[in-house]
Each structure stands twice: as C-alpha cells, then as structure tokens.
C-alpha cells in the first residue's frame, strides 16, 4: 500500500488535495499532518473536523517551543525582510521537519503540500523534504489549479470546505506574526478596513512603559517577571497589540521575482526587535555594530528563503553568539502612537560613559579637548586637496577655451 503525508490545514487548498492525491497520483492512503506553531484553536478544530469528514487519519504535532526558540534566535540577528519581522518564513522549516518526521514514522513513500507555484512556501517546504528519499508532490502547482477551480471541485465532490472571508483571504498565523493576503488586498491601491486585523487595535492616545530584560541577547523577562519563550511572545503580542503596535502594509518581493501586496501583524516581534537593537547600541562598539548589520542581513535573507540550516547560517551565528555575550541588560519600551519606542536602556557591559560624553566635563578621561585640534585639521584634508585639484583643472580648461578661438561668455 502506498501512503502519502499531506501538510494539512483543513482549508480549501489542502482539502482538495486529499482526493487529488488518490485520483491523480494513485496513492492508496493519505494522512494529514497539522503542526502547531501558535495558530488559533479554531484552526485546529477546523482541521480536525475536516479530516474526520474526509475520513483522513490526522496527526497534530506541537512545535511551538521549537518555533519560539527560533524566533528568539531571529531577535539576536535583528532579523527582518524588507522591513517586517520574519514569521511565516521561519515557521515553514519547523513545520516541514515535523511533517517529515511523521511521514517517516508512518512509512510514507510520498510527502505533499498545497502550495501554489507562485509563492515562497513551496521552496521552504521542499528545501527540507528533498533531503529525504520521499517523493515530493505539489498538486496545486503541478496541476495548475486556481482558487475558483478548487471551489468548483470542492462543490462537485461535496468536500467540507468553509466559506466566508477565510475563503477569500489567505491568512497565516503563528505566534510571531499574522499575515493576510488575497482578494481585494491584491490591489495595491485598495485601502483595507480594520476588519483584516485580529491582533492589533487602532492606535490611541494612551501610552504605557514596560521593561524588557535580556540575557546574552535573549529576552527573558518583562517588568521583572520571567517567561518561557512561548509565553513571553504571547504576552507581548497581547500587550503591544492593544496599543496598535506592529502593523505592516507593504509590497513584498518574493523569491521567484513576483511583487505582491502583503499585510502583516507582529506586535510582540516588533517590540522585541526594537528593544534588542537598542541594547546592542549601548554595548557593542561602532565596528561591531557596522559589521553585524551585514551578518544580520545575511541571516535574515537565509531565514526568508527557509534555509536556516545552511552552513552559512552556522558561521554567521558564531559571530552573533560572540557579540551577544554582552547583550545583557534592560530596555524600557514606551508604547505610543502605534510604535514600540525604546526610551531607556541599561547594562553593565555598556561601551559608554556619561561623564566622558557630558558637555559639563572638561576632559575625556586623560584626553583634553584641545587634543582634538590636530584631528580636526586632518579631517577632510584629502577632500580639500581633491577639490583644489578639480578647481585648478577647471580654470585651465577655461583659459584653453578662450585662446583657441572658440569663444567665451556671450559669444558662446
């Protein structure tokens, strides 16, 4: 008997994949695997009900702790892509690994997803799965299915598919972010209503300050109360979201070259990234901060591509680990106007001296202010030489122009 494991959400795409894997691909048995990375409870209820109606063996894997830990690793790397925190991208390899484990445990010969051929997720899933010996199947992509065709097919087969806005918008939720796309949102000129938001309230005049504690670059406490990673992220999602923090409406460049309109909510992630960067600004040297921007950008790119296990990432994390040993301390964040703004930071590793930086002190340690005179004289010296040479050559060209008979001034 041939068996295939399907990444199963209970939504339209994965629901129609079940009979297609049997009819078009000849599999005798399809099992569904749903991986918990922080989705709402109703999504698991829907997946379970749909699987039962389809007669599908259904497995649920709890990967929240593993995913939350990866999210905090992304904080140490200040990981964003084109300005928004990585959420869906980081979740996909975690989900793919969990599904692969179930597929191998259940003696599957194939593994499948319901991604289209236009998005990023097909690449992220398959980057993990193609390291195995299982046949990788993508019915929606390989059969060229559209959303309208799937709806008609589901109606024809009497498949248990829910309607409503969830059928129009494509919504992906995990503990780090919530994304909404599709339908009217595909029009860049369409102004969405607040109906699309679930995690964030509209910003108000109310403000609140909280203190976040970091140890070795990892956030560990809020206002002195320690949290495990999952609970920490969920707490900040609720708190920051109530102040309207973490909304992104953007045109995103996907890996395949398509530009798409995306809407995201990420209140906890926005808060932690802002706090972490503020603390790095206090403890890291100028050279470390400049070089780490390159490291962080490369880490973020690999995270976006779903290649977080690449050898390059391990090498990048060696540098990140070294710098994060001093990223220990506290940051005060003020929620106001839909922003999470760092307003104070403190660390015993601070590469800073208030006495040295103050305008009220005459010296910087043993260095006197007049010692900077020589530096000031040299500063810009090469620029001055270059500008003098440019000006001198410009004058020579003017003289040559006047003496070769070509005319100057009003004659030109």
In a domain, 321, yes or no: no
Q: How many domains does the structure of the chain reveal?
A: 2
Catalytic residue among 74, 76, 170, 296: 170
Domain boundary at 313, 346, 379, which?
A: 346
**CA-to-CA distance for 206 and 354, rounded, in angstroms?**
32
Report the distance separating Cα 88 and Cα 78, nearest Å: 16
**Domain stop point among 138, 166, 194:** 166
Residue 382 lies in a domain: no
Predicted pLDDT at 170: 80
Neighbours of 339 (CB within 10 A): 17
pLDDT attached to residue 64: 98
Question: Which burial class, exposed, middle or buried, applies to 48 when counting CB atoms under 10 A from its CB (0-12, 13-18, 19+)?
Answer: middle
The residue from 166, 192, 217 where one domain ends is: 166
Phi and psi torsions of 55, nearest 5°: 70, 35
Residue 182 shares a structural domain with residue 107? no
Q: Of 36, 76, 121, 178, which is the active-site residue?
A: 121
pLDDT for position 300 = 98
* pLDDT in 10s for each residue of the chain, 412 residues: 899 999 999 988 999 999 999 999 999 999 999 999 999 999 999 999 999 999 999 999 999 999 999 999 999 999 999 999 999 999 999 999 999 999 999 999 999 999 999 999 999 999 999 999 999 999 999 999 998 999 999 999 999 886 434 456 788 999 999 999 888 898 999 999 999 999 999 999 999 999 999 999 999 999 999 999 999 999 999 999 999 999 999 999 999 999 999 999 999 999 999 999 999 999 999 999 999 999 999 999 999 999 999 999 999 999 999 999 999 999 999 999 999 999 999 999 999 776 666 566 677 677 788 888 989 999 999 999 999 999 999 877 666 666 665 555 454 4
Report the pLDDT value the prediction gives residue 163, as an integer from 0 to 100. 43
Question: Which residues fall in the annotated binding site?
Answer: 7-15, 84, 114, 116, 120-121, 124, 170, 179, 252, 264
Residues 155 and 82 in one domain: yes
Token representation of residue 358 = 């103050």
Give the per-residue pLDDT at 369: 84
Could you tell me if 161 and 75 lie in one domain?
yes
Sheet holding 247-253, edge to edge: 170-173, 178-181, 259-265, 247-253
239 and 134 assigned to the same domain = no
Cβ(296)–Cβ(302) below 8 Å: no
Q: Which residue has the tokens 């100028």?
A: 286
Give yes or no: residues 161 and 181 share one domain: no
In a domain, 402, yes or no: no
Q: Is 203 contained in some domain?
A: yes
Q: Give the pLDDT score at 202.
A: 95
- Provide CB contacts within 8 A for 117, sequence distance 6+: 138, 140, 141, 144
DSSP 2: -
CATH number of the domain residue 136 falls in: 3.40.50.620
> Quick check: 113 and 135 in contact, CB under 8 A?
no
Residues of the binding site for L-aspartate: 116, 120-121
Q: What is the pLDDT of residues 236-291, one digit of tens each?
A: 999 999 999 999 999 999 999 999 999 999 999 999 999 999 999 999 999 999 99
Which of 13, 86, 89 minimizes the C-alpha distance to 306?
89
Whether 365 is in a domain gets the answer no
Task: Kindly state whether residues 150 and 195 are assigned to the same domain.
Answer: no
Q: Are residues 78 and 19 in the same domain?
A: yes
pLDDT score for 356: 62
Q: Could you tell me the CATH number of the domain that includes residue 342? A: 3.90.1260.10
Residue 395: what pLDDT? 72
Does residue 332 lie within any of the structural domains? Answer: yes
| pLDDT value at residue 165 | 42
- Residue 162: per-residue pLDDT: 63
For the question of residue 13 being annotated catalytic, the response is: yes
Do 187 and 231 fall within a single domain?
yes
- pLDDT score at 200: 97
Task: Tell me: do 177 and 198 sit in the same domain.
Answer: yes
Residue at 87 is within a domain = yes
User: How confident is the model over 15-24, as pLDDT tens digits?
Assistant: 999 999 999 9
Q: Is 235 found in the same domain as 118?
A: no
Examine residue 392 and state whether it is found in any structural domain, yes or no: no
CA angle 114, 118, 123 (to 5 degrees): 65
pLDDT of residue 67: 98
pLDDT score, position 182: 81
Q: Are residues 233 and 341 in the same domain?
A: yes
Domain that holds residue 342: 172-284+326-346
Considering the candidates 76, 92, 178, 261, report the single residue annotated as catalytic: 92
pTM of the model: 0.90
- Do 53 and 177 reside in the same domain of the chain? no
Cα→Cα distances 191→25, 132, 141, Å: 42, 44, 30
Q: Is 170 among the residues known to form the active site?
A: yes
């Amino acid at each position: 008997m041939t068996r295939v494991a399907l990444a199963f959400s209970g939504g339209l795409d994965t629901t129609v994949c079940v009979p297609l894997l049997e009819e078009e691909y000849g599999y005798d048995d399809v099992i569904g695997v749903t991986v918990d990375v922080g989705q709402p409870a109703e999504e698991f209820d829907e997946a379970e009900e749909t699987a039962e109606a389809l007669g599908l063996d259904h497995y649920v894997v709890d990967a929240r702790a593993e995913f939350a830990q990866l999210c905090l690793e992304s904080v140490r790397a200040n990981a964003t892509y084109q300005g928004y925190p990585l959420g869906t991208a980081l979740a996909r390899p975690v989900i793919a690994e969990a599904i692969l484990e179930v597929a191998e445990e259940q003696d599957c010969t194939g593994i499948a997803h319901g991604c289209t051929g236009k998005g990023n997720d097909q690449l992220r899933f398959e980057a993990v799965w193609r390291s195995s010996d299982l046949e990788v199947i993508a019915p929606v992509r390989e059969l060229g299915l559209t959303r309208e065709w799937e709806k008609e097919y589901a109606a024809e087969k009497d498949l248990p598919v829910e309607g409503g806005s969830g059928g129009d918008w494509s919504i992906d939720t995990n503990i780090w972010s919530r994304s909404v796309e599709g339908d009217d949102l595909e029009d860049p000129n369409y102004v969405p209503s607040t109906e699309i938001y679930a995690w964030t309230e509209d910003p108000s005049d109310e403000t609140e300050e909280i203190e976040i504690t970091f140890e070795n670059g990892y956030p560990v406490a809020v206002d002195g109360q320690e949290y495990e990673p999952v609970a920490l992220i969920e707490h900040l999602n609720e708190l920051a979201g109530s102040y309207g923090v973490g909304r992104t409406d953007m045109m995103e460049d996907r890996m395949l070259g398509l530009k798409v309109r995306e809407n995201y909510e990420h209140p906890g992630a926005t808060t932690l990234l802002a706090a972490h960067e503020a603390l790095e600004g206090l403890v890291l040297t100028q050279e470390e901060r400049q070089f780490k921007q390159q490291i962080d950008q490369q880490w973020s790119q690999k995270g976006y591509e779903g290649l977080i296990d690449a050898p390059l990432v391990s090498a990048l994390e060696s540098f990140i680990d070294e710098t994060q040993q001093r990223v220990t301390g506290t940051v005060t964040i003020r929620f106001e106007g839909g922003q999470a703004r760092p307003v104070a930071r403190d660390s015993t590793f601070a590469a800073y001296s208030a006495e040295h930086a103050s305008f009220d002190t005459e010296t910087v340690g043993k260095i006197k202010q007049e010692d900077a005179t020589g530096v000031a004289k040299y500063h810009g010296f090469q620029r001055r030489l270059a500008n003098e040479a440019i000006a001198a050559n410009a004058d020579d060209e003017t003289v040559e122009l006047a003496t070769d008979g070509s005319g100057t001034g009003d004659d030109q």
